[in-house]
Structure 1
Amino acid sequence: MAASAAALALIAVTTWLVWPSGAEVRGQDQTITVVDGPADDQRVELDTTFFPPPGGGKAPAVLLGHGFGGSKQSVRDEAVRIAQDGYAVLTWSARGFGRSTGEIALNSPDYEVKDVKQLIDWLAKRPEVLLDASDDPRVGIAGGSYGGAIALMTAAHDRRVDAIVPRITWSDLADALFPNTAVPLSAAGDAGQSPAAGSLPEAENGVFKRMWAGIFFGQGVSLDSLALRGRPEAARPLTPEQARCGRFRPEICTVYEEVAKTGRPTPEAVDLLRKSSPITVAAQIKAPTLLIQGQRDSLFPLSHADANARAIAAGGTPVSLTWFDGGHDGGDGEADWVFEQSSAWFARYLKGEGDGETAPPVSAFTVTRDGGRDPGTRQRIRLHPETGSYPGLGGTATRTVELAGPAQNIANPPGGAPASISSVPGVGGLLGGQNSPGVAIDMPGQSAAFESRPLTAPLQLTGSSTATIRVSGQGGTEATLFAKLYDVADSVQPPALPAGLVAPIRVAIPEGATSAEATITLPAVDHAFAPGHRLRLVLTTTDMGFATPSEPATYQVSLVSSTLTVPTVGTLAAASGGVAWWVWAMPLAAVVIAAALLVTGRAQNRRRTATRP
């Protein structure tokens, strides 16, 4: 019996050893010199790695960009995996990062976009890369955050790009850093409707996202990456300009310093940021686009993917959109599933495998949802309901929820402290855990709350809810507020703030008036409210992640309408996650092994009996 078990174990080990693995991929490091700048007079050396297709021959190419503060090394593992799928892959450290020279220009058309266009020129000369025409390689671009934005910007400025997969990136960098989701009631229009495709938010009056902006600037000013270049200047004392701006271009440094002092956007800041914003050129993008955006992202929330999707689709370009469990604030990340979606997209538009057999189709709109826990491993099951068309943040239908609460007086404290907390940039998930919607803290005296009755049926919110408020105070003043929508289970558990997201708003009270009304758009989320739970709308005067007025002030906040409009998408559907395959496969395997052992044991007994004298 023991010998039989050992034999079966040997077979299993041998099978594992001889099971085919991915082809070996070898990277080739080199420096590629490019010329950029408004006058094309700046010479920059880009540190790159080229991964030829492991199977030999000619193959489509994929440019893989890194996130802000990263380098080509940040995406090496992903590059190897893409190459194993049969692509030629080129990674690079963007100007101002890693061992590359140059200064950070935030994916400007005059700088980073020109650099990537010359990387495409370089790929066109490689014998391993498939060409569509002379100097026109078959090429896609993928990347996350900073790398996602360069995919969008390059596709808008270079028609040779054949497909793109931007992840967790921005549409309007000015709106990302200076959001304002309030619209005066006289100009609000129909509640719940998305702005016109390609329209620009009013960042000129936005609320400064101070903590995220500080993280960005800190990563660019840090000279750790200077040491990576291995140049003599790495050991020299910093010049005054290096100490002030690090590897940023001087004009970016100047704009940041002014905004950080005042907490208000300047026309120069908005103009500079919009030059690096895909929303300004999205109509020029003709490469089929798969937008992958994180549900846990207070930096570039779902509304940015929505704006990109609508603007690109308005030009007739194929677009699909995915909301996954990840983002700049954590979450699972779903690395394998996200890779599969990207792989299917490139297989369709770079390899032409569009029949659904060799390249599974990517749905027009997919959302990651919690499917409970696997009964065996106790690991989270993630479902991916999908629908054939993207509904926008207004959903395919709406439900109204009645809110109640009196007019409430709230105060902005001197200096804006202590501040309420919605999320901590970059680590927002720590407040509530990886799989928790998140827990927030609202400071007493600074917040007004309006709450629904307990729900009598489940409510699946998918998109951005809207409400209409009135702010009363001294004429000629402006109230800075932060709106949140909580899920309240009971009086024992703390209320949950989905993804820790908050909507900053500014409401101006005209001279001679005592109040102003506005429609507010709450953060886009996909969240299930259970029966018996309540919805709570909270407006606070402070939030730790944002710059708030230092002058003390008091306002009265009330509802113009008691109705909260909640978008739903009834067409989202997914097969049940069911029971993990191994739950039934392991017992079956056990039966087979037991039967084999039983047969072997009986055969041995017969041989022993036959040999006895």
Structure 2
Amino acid sequence: MLADRVPSWDGTPIDADVHLPPTGDGPWPTVVWLHGFGDGKEVVEVQAAGYAARGYAALSLSARGFARSCGEPASRTPDCARGWMHIADQRFEVRDVQHLLGLLADQGITIPDRIGATGSSYAGIQALQLGFLKDRIRLPDGSFAPWRSPAGKAMRVAGVAPQLAWSDMVAAVYPNGDFGQATTRTSTATRRRPGFRLQSFYDLIRNGAQFLNLLPSPGADPTIEFQRWLALTGDDLTTPAGRTALDELYEYRSALAIPGTPAPLMLVQGWTDNATPAAHALVVYRTLRARDPDAKVWMTLADFGHWRAMNKRRTNLNVGDRNIAFFDHFLRGRRDFFPPGQVTVYRSDCTRKRSDGPAIRAASFNALIRSTVSVADRGPAGTVTSEGGLASVAKRVDPVTSRLHCPTIPARSEPNTASLDLTVTRPFTYLGQGVIRARVRGTGGPRAQVVARLWHIERGRQRLLDRSVTRIDLPRRGAVRIELNGNAVRLRRGEHVRLQLLGRDAPTYEAPDQRFRIAVSDLELELPARERPGTGALAVRRPG
């Protein structure tokens, strides 16, 4: 019933359930199960009940503006007057979660400093921000304050397990291919130099929000003008209004914008997830480890997540078991846990097997990588133009419109591209984020798009292994560096790989709105490898 909803800190009614352990009187360690975009609390009820059966109090709620928390038209009572969604804003959705947890602490249900949070995608974004806030709240004016329950109890997150979360909303909406490179800075650079909108994914969200969520009328609330923000063009982003929008996206919806040391983190991200690629978890992991080599952060990377990930059952179960062990340790003081920094990786292989095979574990992400397989081809590689390659290929490998896990298409050359064809002469496991280097001579723009695709070619058909999008400002003459999103895949002797650069990959990435032409030469590819130096090798494959 609508009357059962709980008023949040500003009076917005939140539809929430609390699952209690079958025995005991509390208080209990508490885990919050959050839901994905377009959903409500019902989609995580089973998971929440499962945690309750293990001795946790489990909170599930529909985020403001979703489902019966003012999202469904029938739920929009007068106290929903300003209950619209704010897209995982620390000042609103995240604070709602903190307020409900404070109420549970005051009722003797929640232990105030034994709190965890988890969930995937939109839920993971909020969980990650809860971890970075830890014992603080974010006020509407953007300032921080100690997190206290309504009765004044000091509240604190003990650990979070965010899955498929963005680290930085600007990098998520306007990826630029470079936010994961540095280990000694956060991704603030994306605000100053956004890339190209992840078009098909955010068009899906923008269109769905019109029917699934409560949205403010245009101009009613400058803190959430989501529809207008997603319609900003490259030129718009350079205006004062565009810069203000980027500041809103970054400051209040990005975990890495929150200062301080977070609660322990169990990061879970997908190699094959085009919406929130592995680079988002890697930049959080690297940033925290650069600040403190003993930072309490762990990471699991697998063929997991949004389209085009396969989400194999056994791997998903392994991820779930690891998260339970994490919460048992940090919320209940049970079990020894792995040393800080440990990383678990599963390969992606595009088969229908239940599992991605045995896990690969190492004490750190750097320890996973034992060598680099490099190859270079001097001379002209082709010309990249704003017209791009074949539209049919771009549509086929767009994860949203195709909804295919591992699409294969006839292997073909495409116009307006630069490419490098390779043969695996000694087998190896590509593990991490590949790096492309080249020399360019570009005119036009001044804002040019360069998309990198890495293909696997077998029996006349090609399958996408990796990709990324990068912005290059023109005119430009000289060396460029492009980083791929990342993957973990076994490359066998005799198999063929193609590196391709092109200037348009719509609908996955927003089409460039300016004409340009970039001559590419001296292409180099470096792939981090699991095997020892000298084990793997690539060779240039000549026509004929």
Normalising by structure 1, we get a TM-score of 0.72
Aligned length: 488
In structure 2, the CA distance between the partners of 1:475 and 1:195, relative to structure 1 (3 Å rule), is farther
- The answer to whether the aligner puts 1:326 opposite 2:304 as a matched pair is yes
Residues 111-159 of structure 1, C-alpha deviation per residue, up to 9 Å, x if partnerless? 1222122122012123343x3xxxx242111111111111121222232
Structure 1 residue identity aligned to 2:231: E
Question: When you count strand as a share of all residues, which structure comes out higher?
Answer: 2
- The answer to whether the aligner puts 1:563 opposite 2:539 as a matched pair is no
Pairing 1:63-462 to 2, within 5 Å after superposition: 63-101=32-70, 102-129=83-110, 131=111, 136-159=112-135, 160-181=156-177, 194-203=182-191, 204-223=193-212, 250-259=224-233, 266-275=242-251, 276-281=253-258, 283-313=259-289, 314-315=291-292, 316-329=294-307, 330-334=309-313, 335-355=316-336, 364-369=342-347, 380=355, 382-391=357-366, 395-403=369-377, 406-413=380-387, 420-421=394-395, 423-426=397-400, 430=404, 432=406, 444-452=414-422, 454-462=423-431
Residues 252-305 of structure 1, C-alpha deviation per residue, up to 9 Å, x if partnerless? 333233349969893123211102101111x52432110011122111100000
Residues 521-575 of structure 1, C-alpha deviation per residue, up to 9 Å, x if partnerless? 122111111111233210012112112234554432222xx5322112459xxxx
- 1:472 counterpart residue number: 441
- 1:229 counterpart residue number: none
In structure 2, the CA distance between the partners of 1:412 and 1:217, relative to structure 1 (3 Å rule), is same
Stretch moving more, 316-325 or 257-266: 257-266
Q: 1:506 aligns with which of 450, 468, 471?
A: 471
- 2:78 counterpart residue number: none
Contact 2:350 2:405 in 1 (8 A): no
In structure 2, the CA distance between the partners of 1:405 and 1:459, relative to structure 1 (3 Å rule), is farther
In structure 2, the CA distance between the partners of 1:372 and 1:277, relative to structure 1 (3 Å rule), is closer
Pairing 1:545-584 to 2, within 5 Å after superposition: 545-559=508-522, 562-570=523-531
Following superposition, the deviation at residue 427 of structure 1 comes to 6.2
Contact 1:416 1:549 in 2 (8 A): no
- 2:11 counterpart residue number: 43
- 1:602 counterpart residue number: none
- SS of match in other structure, 1:566: strand
Residues 58-112 of structure 1, C-alpha deviation per residue, up to 9 Å, x if partnerless? 3211111111111101111111111111111000011111111311112222212
- The answer to whether the aligner puts 1:57 opposite 2:25 as a matched pair is yes
Distance 2:256 2:473 in 1: 27
- 2:495 counterpart residue number: 533
Contact 2:350 2:406 in 1 (8 A): no
Distance 1:177 1:422 in 2: 21
Structure 1 residue identity aligned to 2:264: P
Distance 2:260 2:53 in 1: 32
In structure 2, the CA distance between the partners of 1:310 and 1:361, relative to structure 1 (3 Å rule), is closer
Structure 1 residue identity aligned to 2:470: I
Distance 1:553 1:199 in 2: 27
Following superposition, the deviation at residue 336 of structure 1 comes to 1.9
Structure 2 residue identity aligned to 1:220: A
Between the two proteins, what is the percent identity of the paired residues? 25
Q: Which has the larger radius of gyration?
A: 1
Distance 1:370 1:111 in 2: 37
Stretches of structure 1 lacking an aligned partner (at least 5 in a row) = 1-28, 36-41, 184-191, 227-238, 572-613
In structure 2, the CA distance between the partners of 1:529 and 1:165, relative to structure 1 (3 Å rule), is same
Contact 2:234 2:513 in 1 (8 A): no
Stretches of structure 2 lacking an aligned partner (at least 5 in a row) = 71-82, 136-155, 533-544
In structure 2, the CA distance between the partners of 1:410 and 1:201, relative to structure 1 (3 Å rule), is same
Distance 1:113 1:182 in 2: 28
Structure 2 residue identity aligned to 1:304: H
Distance 2:374 2:235 in 1: 42
Distance 1:120 1:84 in 2: 19
Contact 1:471 1:507 in 2 (8 A): no
Distance 2:187 2:232 in 1: 26
Distance 2:454 2:246 in 1: 29
Normalising by structure 2, we get a TM-score of 0.80
Distance 2:232 2:349 in 1: 47
Structure 2 residue identity aligned to 1:413: E
Contact 1:401 1:563 in 2 (8 A): yes
In structure 2, the CA distance between the partners of 1:199 and 1:440, relative to structure 1 (3 Å rule), is farther
Distance 1:364 1:439 in 2: 37
